[in-house]
């Protein structure tokens, strides 16, 4: 697998959600997406877009599972939304059976993924968020070169 990083600028929540949808359309069973960025940088907006593309019903409010650690949403593929913000060590997730999520045919999205990078699969798609200004985010996506190409193509088509 050849790795690649691309950079996308989004203007506002709507574009971040649309980028999340494009990413979600390129995911398959067992895929893991690691979201990295400061508070308010857009991680949960990205998770909303991923959920929408995975067929999660609009009746579910996608919020950061800061206190529950893991929220699960049914869709065409189950979405497990993990928030590692309050974890002291990755061991806490291992003890909770986190690694079983990789083999059950769903998609795992991890906010604050840098805190548990040591237990994430080698083919995790990482999405790094950086503030540019109040409404603009610089988003760097790193992962398999072919997946990055698919994501960029889908995102460009959605913006046209």
pLDDT tens-digit profile of 84-119? 888 888 887 777 777 776 667 899 999 999 999 998
Residue 69 has a pLDDT of: 81
Residue 160 has a pLDDT of: 67
Q: What is the mean pLDDT of the chain?
A: 90
Helix, strand, coil distribution of the chain in percent, nearest 5: 35, 30, 35
Residue 86 has a pLDDT of: 84
pTM summary value: 0.91
Alpha carbon distance 134, 151 (integer Å)? 25
Q: List Cβ neighbours of 74 (8 Å cut-off, separation of 6 or more).
A: 56, 57
Q: Which domains does the chain have, with CATH numbers?
A: 3-159 (3.40.50.300)
Note the pLDDT tens digit of each residue in 16-39.
999 999 999 999 999 999 999 998
């Amino acid at each position: 697998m050849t790795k690649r990083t691309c950079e996308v600028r989004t203007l506002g929540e709507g574009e971040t959600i649309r980028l999340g949808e494009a990413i979600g359309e390129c995911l398959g069973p067992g895929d893991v997406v690691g979201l990295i960025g400061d508070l308010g940088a857009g991680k949960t907006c990205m998770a909303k877009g991923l959920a929408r593309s995975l067929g999660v019903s609009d009746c579910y409010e996608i919020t950061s599972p800061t206190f529950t650690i893991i929220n699960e949403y049914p869709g065409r593929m189950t979405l497990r939304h993990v928030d590692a913000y309050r974890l002291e060590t990755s061991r806490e997730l291992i003890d909770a059976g986190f690694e079983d999520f990789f083999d059950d045919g769903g998609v795992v999205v991890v906010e604050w993924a840098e805190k548990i990078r040591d237990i994430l699969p080698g083919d995790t798609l990482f999405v790094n968020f950086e503030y540019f200004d109040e409404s603009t985010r610089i988003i760097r996506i790193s992962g398999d070169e072919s997946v990055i190409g698919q994501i960029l193509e889908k995102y460009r088509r959605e913006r046209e």
